[in-house]
Amino acid sequence: MNIIFSLEAPAAQSFKNLYDTTNWGPLERDVGFYADALRGSWASVSAYDDDRLVAFARAISDGKLHAFITEMIVDPEYQRRSLGEQLLKLLVDRCHFLGVNDIQLFCAEGKADFYLKNGFSRRPDDAPGMQYSGALTTAPGLWTPAGAAE
């Protein structure tokens, strides 16, 4: 397994193929639906094994106050290999680098422990979702052309 991470959004067909592994939505959605969704992204991290998209995470944001992680998908064949942890860390680092420190998400049932182990904390019962409460990070050089593909 030779995983390469990229800050480039994936091709819409690749995103659809990966999204379809989640059973989160109807398989009948066309590629244009996913192309439109990707255009609404603020920050993303893609992971490829050769040319195959095997993991993807993205956030939407106002660019100043808040970022919301909308997807964190790892192909079932690639799960339990720490790929999700790496992907999440890169996306959180990217949000911090872009100046947004309030990062929130909703998680699927049974996935809270993953996020708790990776710097997120539960929000109060009257405020759904989870919020990043780990250390603020910066990764000098990681988000420059010499450090990663932008």
What's the pLDDT tens digit per position in 68-96? 999 999 999 999 999 999 999 999 999 99
Most confident of 116-120, 124-128, 133-137: 116-120
Can you tell me the distance from the alpha carbon of 119 to that of 75, in angstroms, rounded to the nearest whole number? 22
β-partners of residue 122 are 130
- Specify the higher pLDDT residue, 124 or 76: 76
Is residue 42 over pLDDT 70?
yes
> What domains, with CATH codes, occur in the chain?
3-132 (3.40.630.30)
pLDDT at 132: 76
Can you tell me the distance from the alpha carbon of 12 to that of 59, in angstroms, rounded to the nearest whole number? 16
pLDDT at 150: 44
Residue with tokens 């989160």: 24
Average the pLDDT over 110-120 and give the result. 91
pLDDT at 144: 56
pLDDT at 106: 84
pLDDT band at 128 (very low <50, low <70, confident <90, very high): low
Is residue 147 over pLDDT 70?
no
End-to-end Cα distance, the chain:
23
- Which residues have C-beta within 8 Å of that of residue 32, sequence separation ≥ 6? 12
